[in-house]
Amino acid sequence: MKRVFSGVRPTGKLHLGNYQGAVLNYVRLQDEYKCVYCVVDIHALTTLSETPMLQANINDMFMDLLAAGVDPEKAILFVQSHVPEINELAMLLGMVTPLSWLLRVPTFKEKARQHPENVNYGLVGYPVLMAADILLYKADIVPVGIDQQPHLELTREIVRTFNQRFGHTFDEPQAKLTEFPLVVGLDGKDKMSKSLNNHIEISATPEETQKRVMTAVTDPARIRKNDPGHPDVCNVFKLHQQFNTAEVPTICEECKKGNIGCVECKRKLANCINESLAPLRERRIALEAKPDYIKEVMNDGAKRASVIAKSTIEEVRARMNLR
Ligand code: TRP
């Protein structure tokens, strides 16, 4: 049976971008494949200078994944640093990864631009650590958002180089996108992300959600309520296509004619998001009352992941003639 692996950074709570872009597939794939899902705390360290919130963020992300429908009976769900073999594999894969590959990765260039004061060795090595995640668990399929594709390409290059030098050890993994591989944030400009504060957390209350949606940027050419709108360039309309499929044709028509204003359109959107996330939010609240259960799932996940990790590391050591 093919194996699936994916990771999500604990930089805050899960938001609609992560959810629509990747986590929807986490849930769908777990019936068909052996799935391993990971809260990647070591990756989070590449952009943190302080860590007082780290444990709280790991817990939040872990609960969000469970609430979103990751089922620990079907999938392995764990925290990256709980299986320390990852560090060894990342170090060893670093030996077959030319620095020039890493310096041209778009996410690296972007983060180096955003935080010139914190361009650390770990940040340059981010894609090697990600390749190590995928390869430690010998994954064939990797559900991710579209922004992660360059990392997947690099993982495949690492696989080819490693296999060439040390004999066939890894298969090349494939990215798996959802039907919404890029969710644009409320600014209507960049991908939805916490660092840009243009996101909606899936566990937000209906009131918070409504408030956030109201701040969304719509069609910039539309100044007065009755001006004809352009749904094709409006991000709120794109979000309707994800959360309110039934009403999409009507909203499109009415917006173009100037019959429905942006405020009403956003109100409808907020209602649909709230409706579709209600069961998830209910599960999330229930999980918050069960910290022991969360710990248990975490420990059990790490134990099961360890078995796979140990066997891969032994194989890699032997291939590289480390003993
Ligand atoms: N880089 C991914 C992101 O930012 C997170 C990640 C870490 C990941 N390791 C992974 C995703 C392995 C897929 C597979 O979203």
- To test the pocket of ligand 1, the residue of 3, 38, 126, 130 to mutate (highest count of ligand atoms within 8 Å of its CB) is 130
List the residue whose alpha carbon is closest to atom 14 of ligand 1: 6
Q: How confident is the model at residue 304 (pLDDT cuts 50, 70, 90)?
A: very high
Residue 61's pLDDT is what?
98
Whole-number pLDDT of residue 51: 96
Cβ pair 40, 133 in contact under 8 A: yes
* Residue among 43, 156, 195 to mutate when testing ligand 1 (max atoms within 8 A of CB): 43
CA distance 5 to 137: 7
Amino acid (1-letter code) at residue 260: I
| Comma-separated ranges of CATH 1.10.240.10 domains in the chain | 206-285
- As for ligand 1, residues whose beta carbon falls within 6 Å of it are 5-9, 40, 43, 130, 133-134, 142, 144, 148, 151
For domain 206-285, the CATH architecture is: Orthogonal Bundle (1.10)
User: What is the band of 92 on the pLDDT scale with cuts at 50, 70, 90?
Assistant: very high
The pLDDT score that the predictor gives to residue 213 is 97
pLDDT value at 223 more than 90: no
State the distance from the centre of ligand 1 to the C-alpha of 127, rounded, in angstroms. Answer: 9
Q: Render pLDDT for 270-287 as a digit per residue (tens, 0 to 9).
A: 999 999 999 999 999 999
Report pLDDT for 150: 97
CA 207 / ligand 1 centre spacing (Å)? 31
pLDDT digits (tens, 9 = 90+) for 99-147: 999 999 999 999 999 999 999 999 999 999 999 999 999 999 999 999 9
Ligand 1 centroid to 233 CA: how many Å?
29
Q: How far is the CA of 256 from the centre of ligand 1 (A)?
A: 39
pLDDT at 323 over 90: no
Give pLDDT tens digits for 159-217.
999 999 999 999 999 999 999 999 999 999 999 999 899 999 999 999 999 999 999 99
Query: Is 26's pLDDT higher than 90?
Result: yes
C-alpha 214 to ligand 1 mean position (Å):
30
75-89 mean pLDDT: 98
Q: What is the pLDDT averaged over residues 213-230? A: 91
Which pLDDT score, from 0 to 100, does residue 225 have? 84
Q: Ligand 1, from 35, 64, 134, 144: best to mutate by most atoms within 8 Å of Cβ?
A: 144
236 pLDDT above the threshold of 90: yes
Predicted local distance difference test score (pLDDT) of residue 197: 95
State the distance from the centre of ligand 1 to the C-alpha of 55, rounded, in angstroms: 18
**CATH 3.40.50.620 placement within the chain:** 3-183+291-319
In 3D space, the residue among 273, 253, 261 whose CA is nearest the CA of residue 213 turns out to be 273
Instruction: Enter the tokens of residue 241.
Output: 């296509």
* Active site positions, annotated: 111, 191, 194
Pairing relationship of beta strands 174-176 and 141-143 according to DSSP bridges:
parallel
Residue with tokens 């764990």: 78
Q: Taking phi first (over 0 means left), then psi (-120 to 50 degrees means alpha), and beta for anything else, what does residue 139 get?
A: beta
Q: pLDDT (tens digit, 9 = 90+) per residue, 44-75?
A: 999 998 999 999 999 999 999 999 999 999 99
**What pLDDT sits at residue 224?**
87
Residue of minimum CA distance from atom 15 in ligand 1 = 8
Per-residue pLDDT tens for 30-45?
A: 999 999 999 999 999 9
The third-level CATH classification (topology) of the domain covering 3-183+291-319 is Rossmann fold (3.40.50)
Please say if the pLDDT value at position 220 is more than 90.
no
Nearest CA to ligand 1 atom 8: 7
CA-to-CA distance for 323 and 319, rounded, in angstroms? 9
CA distances from 125 to 52, 99, 153, 154, 316 (A): 23, 9, 15, 12, 19
Q: What is the pLDDT of residues 247-263, one digit of tens each?
A: 999 999 999 999 999 99
| Residue closest by Cα to atom 9 of ligand 1 | 130
